[in-house]
Amino acid sequence: MPDAELDRTDRQILRALQRDASVSNVALSRKVNLSAPACLRRVDRLKKLGLIQDIVALLNPRALDAGMVVMIGVVLDRSTPESFAAFEKAVTQVSGCMECHVITGEFDYFMIVRTRDNESFNRLHAEQLLHLPGVRQVRSFMGLKQVLSTTQLPI
């Protein structure tokens, strides 16, 4: 949807929901100066347009034994549609894999994995990552300190 089709109120709604999607429709309508029914219609429209994909709870990784973040560069042994498809299907089953991106440069893929600690990552590496189809090389980068993490898009 082109930016021109989003008005100021749509943007306010999207910004507010990015900060707290658990806000009630009545509270949201007050924040954006709309009646509750008009606000609900706008939110429904934004969902139908695909601008709001999901409404989720963001969990505390440390509290759930997933405090270590590992960024992983993967190089495949072949650059064929079949090898990419096989890898992409298999990577969805990797424990703790939060994201996987096809990228340019030195690696074919970049993965973000969350795990408990070094020992659990070593086990994941040996039992899952090295057995992904078509993998020639895996390079891991352990996160030492989280400087920024957000789910909010600039609107």
All structural domains of the chain, each given as residue ranges with its CATH number in brackets, are 8-49 (1.10.10.10), 61-143 (3.30.70.920)
| Each residue's pLDDT tens digit, 56-108 | 999 999 999 999 999 999 999 999 999 999 999 999 999 999 999 999 999 99
CA angle 9, 12, 15 (to 5 degrees): 150
Mean pLDDT (whole number) for 39-66: 95
Q: Residue 5 — pLDDT band, cuts 50, 70, 90?
A: confident
Tell me the pLDDT of the chain averaged across its residues: 95
Q: Residue 112 — pLDDT band, cuts 50, 70, 90?
A: very high
Predicted structure pTM score: 0.86
- CB neighbourhood size of 13 (10 A): 25
